[in-house]
Structure 1
Amino acid sequence: MLALTLILIPFIGSILLFLLKGSNVSTSKNVALFSSLITFAVAIYTFATFNPLVPIEAKYTWMKDLNINFHIGIDGISLLMIALTTFLVPIIILSTYKFSYKNHATFYMLILLTEVALLGVFMAKDIFLFYFFFEAALIPVYFLAAIWGGKDAPRITFKMFVYTIFGSLFMLVAIVYLYIQGATVNIQELYTTGKLISPTNQNLLFWAFFIAFAIKMPVLPFHTWQPDAYSESPTPATMLLSGLLSKMGVYGLIRILLPLAPIGVTNWGFFGMILSVIGLIYGSIIAIQQNNIKRLIAYSSFAHMGLMAAGVLSGTLSGIQGALLQMVAHGINAVGLFFIIKIIYDRTNTRELSALGGITQKTPALSIYFMIIMLGSVALPLTNGFVGEFLLLKSVYDKNVWLGAIAGLTIILGAVYMLRLMQRSMFGESNQVTAKFKDVSGTEVAVLLPLAILVVLMGVFPNIFLKITEPAVNSILQIISSK
């Protein structure tokens, strides 16, 4: 019942917001925040009482003739992603409290519907249900970006929509093929079907799933929609895209691609790693050159996703565990950084790095939060980014020394673009744009403080998260090794 409750609470909240379209802004915000906080409370209870030996599932008949069920469940991998989703959604909602958006009830309804779809993706035990939620997650974010984004948002979000739908068509064909071969839609049962498929068809399955997930993350060369979409979307939508929706791609690699096409991964996984590492270096170099601070963080996010994809495709315990830990760390850091960029823009009316400087002279609190989250992003030891990045680099290095050495450049390049951002925006002499910059307060602190705390806690106690996911990861590795 816990699994179903996690989906129902934000769904009921979205219905309430639909019925409250004529209400004031404060009511819409409070309903959305209250719904997301209750969902987070249920997730905390699930996290605290989780036992990998006791299944948490819910199964209801959906399309009886096709044997498709509304089948959801929670294991260690799902639980980590549920915790990330239910933590970040109320943070994202809280980050909007100082602002008013037109059609506010619809705005918050779409955020909650995105949470419903994300939780569905991370809990789906039926592959058609996984596909349904995977596609459904895009729809509310598309409208958030298109309606409340910048002047070019409709064109840019349409490009994002076309890219994602294009990739998903390949996945749908692969799912239908697996359904015909195995006469089942249960993901666990399809793992057996996948191993019985010929190597040639497994290669095709690899590419069908890889393209779909690579677009969602994104991975080179399927990334061209991402920088513009992140830059033109309103900050809450950017937070959802970078902090959560991109994680569906990495999750899909772990849950779907690796165990369903193990021979395909053996044959083509290393090529996928090469693409991912090239994207990692390319994204980092472009981030260094950016003057627009929001696009800088967008390219930084692209680079981080490339390393996660490479780690997963290595097919090793360290690679998958590192990717899972890094998904959580990156989600926290990305949301924090995009929110700080939003604060800077609202106070200065510019995102140009060359126009900033000297902000730290009047903002001790913001400077501390910015520094902590930035250090997490560059994977300083004892911050949330360190252990995950170390495991990911180890997995790539173990697979190929030269590829690992190239991927290791992320340590240097990441420090360059993030320290450049910090130095040029926060330090130096203040100017006419930043002279009256006010420090963070109220809900801004309420957003940044828990993010900063988690940056440190995850860095000091990473085993809390690694131990939860290890049994489920080992189960997937056993399936791969028995191909």
Structure 2
Amino acid sequence: MNSFPILTILILLPLIGASLVFMTNNEKKSLLLIKSIALITTLIEFIVSLYVWGLYDPSNASLQFVEKKAWIDGYNVHYSLGIDGISIFFVLLTTFLLPICILAGWNSIKKRVKEYMINFLVLEALVIGTFCAADILLFFVFFEAVLIPMFLIIGVWGGEKRVYAAFKFFLYTFFGSVFLLISFIFIYYHTDTTDIFELYDILPTYTLEVQKWLWLGMFVSFAVKVPMWPVHTWLPDAHVQAPTSGSVILAGVLLKLGGYGFLRFSLPMLPEASHYFADLVIILSIIAVIYTSLVALMQEDMKKLIAYSSVAHMGFVTAGIFAFTQQGIEGAVFQMVSHGLVSGALFLCVGVVYDRMHTKEIAFYSGLASLMPKFALVFMVFMLASVALPGTSGFVGEFLVLLGVFEANKIYGALVATGMVLGAAYMLWLYARVMFTEVRNEKLALISDLDKREVAAFLPLLFLVIILGIYPKVITKNIASSVEVLKDIVDQSAINDINDTNY
């Protein structure tokens, strides 16, 4: 199967769907056709990604489904794709969430529906390209191009302050990526290769001093994408102003690009520098977990509360990665997948009531459990997954991360664990206020419960959150070998004193 360009097909399918949408008449009578093309395209894409997963060999830690062709002649730059046990689940997460995003915007998007669907399909292709890229230049092209459709989704279809939020999102992430590009240029200049896996053999032999500067250049970009404290301030504004589907894909997939960058670049390419800065990253992660959880407790806007909770949950991810333990790294990957499902579902829940009442203010709602029992049940499951209740996917990811961090440093582990307590506080507080108090607002009297389209969007998410909580081996058995290889690279650097340089 390595000779068949299945990963290229995964990238091209959404672009083909976007082309079909583009060629469709932009008239009211064609809106259903436009939406249907987008939905069918994303469903086909998900089926193809499942086929790739079925062919994937979890016992093989090396890159699979490799495609490599000359791209820029004479400069040793290639169109190179491949996936391993880590990247395959981010591809699956992307293809799983996109049909749900299309369904979420089915009725709520009233203007420029054609352009809206094109942006989501292009975004899907670019994100998948980012996770499949095996060349640093190709990775950077996809990594940066993702900003364009997301910028438009926020800026065109967002709320009242959408332009401000869109530019803040763009400027933060673009500024961080400038340093990533500088690091990549330095790497290419001194190694004459852009192949990611060739660089795994070259860059670890560089001196600590060189590794530190390269690591910092990458760190700025990936930290903004996660986002880590204190470069997280763009995220609440982006979430609050983005349409529901935009928030789902932003929290569910785009935040994972930063964590993926640490796993694909920082740790295996610059292992000595990763060890050198590990304490810094974990301390910043602890601040993110505690500080943003406390800020979430003070929020009066449901979307902003969930946005701050995303920063806290991603703090678990970065802490797990830089604990350098098998459980910590596996837990970080699992937590990213789980957070993509749970946070995406929570933003969908906010979208349900916003579409009906056009406000996200917590104080506006009360007693929804009696008015919307199906919605209350769905919201409860995802809320409990967010607070890491055993039996849900949220518990598995956070538990593994805590095991890994405790193994590395017990004090760090105890501080990270406070995030679970604070997370329970703000999510239960939100649920109690919105669901269990008496109905105080007469405007809520006519609010309707979930319709069939909304149920269809929630059911797959409910299924996966429960299944992954009960049987996490679905993910852990596939990522174990890749994580073990990554951990070995980092561990080897910790015991070797490397004094020579290759440049």
Q: What residue in structure 2 maps to residue 266 of structure 1?
A: 275
One-letter amino acid of the counterpart of residue 41, structure 2: S
DSSP 3-state at the match of 2:293: helix
1:385-424 matches, within 5 Å, as 385-424=394-433
- Structure 1 residues 102 and 349 mapped into 2: Cα distance closer, same or farther (>3 Å)? closer
DSSP 3-state at the match of 1:147: helix
Q: Does structure 1 retain, via aligned residues, the 8 Å contact 2:236–2:307?
A: yes
DSSP 3-state at the match of 1:408: helix
For 2:269 and 2:73, the matched residues in 1 are separated by 24
How far the C-alpha of 1:60 sits from its partner, in A, is 2.2
- Structure 1 residues 146 and 438 mapped into 2: Cα distance closer, same or farther (>3 Å)? same
For 1:314 and 1:378, the matched residues in 2 are separated by 22
How far the C-alpha of 1:422 sits from its partner, in A, is 0.8
**TM-score normalized with structure 1 length:** 0.98
398-407 or 125-134, larger mean C-alpha shift = 398-407
For 1:11 and 1:64, the matched residues in 2 are separated by 25
Query: Within the alignment, does 1:228 sit opposite 2:234 as a pair?
Result: no
The equivalent position to 2:319 in structure 1, one of 305, 310, 313, is 310
Residues 182-205 of structure 1: CA distance to partner in whole angstroms, max 9, x if unpaired?
Answer: 211110000112112111111111
**TM-score normalized with structure 2 length:** 0.94
One-letter amino acid of the counterpart of residue 40, structure 1: F
Query: Within the alignment, does 1:6 sit opposite 2:10 as a pair?
Result: yes
Provide the aligned C-alpha RMSD in A.
1.2
DSSP 3-state at the match of 1:56: strand
The equivalent position to 1:463 in structure 2, one of 464, 473, 484, is 473
Residues 398-452 of structure 1: CA distance to partner in whole angstroms, max 9, x if unpaired?
Answer: 2222121111011110101111111111112113132222110111000111111
For 2:44 and 2:382, the matched residues in 1 are separated by 26
Q: What residue in structure 2 maps to residue 18 of structure 1?
A: 22
- Structure 1 residues 199 and 13 mapped into 2: Cα distance closer, same or farther (>3 Å)? same
Q: Does structure 2 retain, via aligned residues, the 8 Å contact 1:356–1:433?
A: no
Q: What residue in structure 2 maps to residue 444 of structure 1?
A: 454
Residues 204-234 of structure 1: CA distance to partner in whole angstroms, max 9, x if unpaired?
Answer: 1111111100101100111111111111111
Q: Which runs of 4+ in 1 moved over 6 A?
A: none
How far the C-alpha of 1:362 sits from its partner, in A, is 2.2
How far the C-alpha of 1:21 sits from its partner, in A, is 5.0
For 1:397 and 1:138, the matched residues in 2 are separated by 36
For 2:464 and 2:44, the matched residues in 1 are separated by 20
DSSP 3-state at the match of 2:71: strand
For 1:18 and 1:349, the matched residues in 2 are separated by 30
One-letter amino acid of the counterpart of residue 269, structure 1: A
One-letter amino acid of the counterpart of residue 409, structure 1: T
Q: Does structure 2 retain, via aligned residues, the 8 Å contact 1:95–1:447?
A: yes
How far the C-alpha of 1:332 sits from its partner, in A, is 0.6
Q: What residue in structure 1 maps to residue 209 of structure 2?
A: 200
For 1:294 and 1:353, the matched residues in 2 are separated by 9
How far the C-alpha of 1:101 sits from its partner, in A, is 3.0
For 2:370 and 2:257, the matched residues in 1 are separated by 40
405-414 or 394-403, larger mean C-alpha shift = 394-403
For 1:287 and 1:387, the matched residues in 2 are separated by 23
Structure 2 unmatched ranges of 5 or more: 494-503
1:79-478 matches, within 5 Å, as 79-431=88-440, 432-478=442-488
Residues 214-266 of structure 1: CA distance to partner in whole angstroms, max 9, x if unpaired?
Answer: 10110011111111111111111111111110000000010111011111111
Q: How many residues align?
A: 483
Q: What residue in structure 2 maps to residue 481 of structure 1?
A: 491
Q: Does structure 2 retain, via aligned residues, the 8 Å contact 1:333–1:376?
A: yes
Q: Does structure 2 retain, via aligned residues, the 8 Å contact 1:181–1:193?
A: no
For 1:30 and 1:60, the matched residues in 2 are separated by 35
Q: What residue in structure 1 maps to residue 501 of structure 2?
A: none
158-167 or 392-401, larger mean C-alpha shift = 392-401
One-letter amino acid of the counterpart of residue 406, structure 1: L
For 1:82 and 1:101, the matched residues in 2 are separated by 29
Q: Does structure 2 retain, via aligned residues, the 8 Å contact 1:25–1:100?
A: no
For 2:173 and 2:323, the matched residues in 1 are separated by 25
One-letter amino acid of the counterpart of residue 22, structure 1: N
For 1:103 and 1:65, the matched residues in 2 are separated by 43
How far the C-alpha of 1:94 sits from its partner, in A, is 1.1
Q: Does structure 1 retain, via aligned residues, the 8 Å contact 2:349–2:379?
A: yes
For 2:83 and 2:471, the matched residues in 1 are separated by 23
DSSP 3-state at the match of 1:291: coil
How far the C-alpha of 1:348 sits from its partner, in A, is 2.3
Q: Does structure 2 retain, via aligned residues, the 8 Å contact 1:43–1:82?
A: yes
Q: What residue in structure 2 maps to residue 40 of structure 1?
A: 46
Percent of aligned positions that are identical:
39
Residues 251-283 of structure 1: CA distance to partner in whole angstroms, max 9, x if unpaired?
Answer: 001011101111111111111110111011111
How far the C-alpha of 1:353 sits from its partner, in A, is 1.0
376-385 or 400-409, larger mean C-alpha shift = 400-409
For 2:114 and 2:78, the matched residues in 1 are separated by 32
For 2:453 and 2:283, the matched residues in 1 are separated by 42
For 1:309 and 1:19, the matched residues in 2 are separated by 43
Structure 1 unmatched ranges of 5 or more: none
For 1:77 and 1:349, the matched residues in 2 are separated by 39
One-letter amino acid of the counterpart of residue 134, structure 1: F
One-letter amino acid of the counterpart of residue 71, structure 2: W
Q: Does structure 2 retain, via aligned residues, the 8 Å contact 1:40–1:83?
A: yes
For 1:291 and 1:100, the matched residues in 2 are separated by 25
One-letter amino acid of the counterpart of residue 243, structure 1: G
For 1:342 and 1:91, the matched residues in 2 are separated by 13
How far the C-alpha of 1:344 sits from its partner, in A, is 1.1
For 2:323 and 2:203, the matched residues in 1 are separated by 19
DSSP 3-state at the match of 2:80: strand
Q: Does structure 2 retain, via aligned residues, the 8 Å contact 1:358–1:434?
A: no
Query: Within the alignment, does 1:74 sit opposite 2:80 as a pair?
Result: no
For 1:195 and 1:21, the matched residues in 2 are separated by 54
One-letter amino acid of the counterpart of residue 128, structure 1: L
DSSP 3-state at the match of 1:240: helix
Q: What residue in structure 1 maps to residue 498 of structure 2?
A: none
For 1:225 and 1:363, the matched residues in 2 are separated by 33
368-377 or 98-107, larger mean C-alpha shift = 98-107
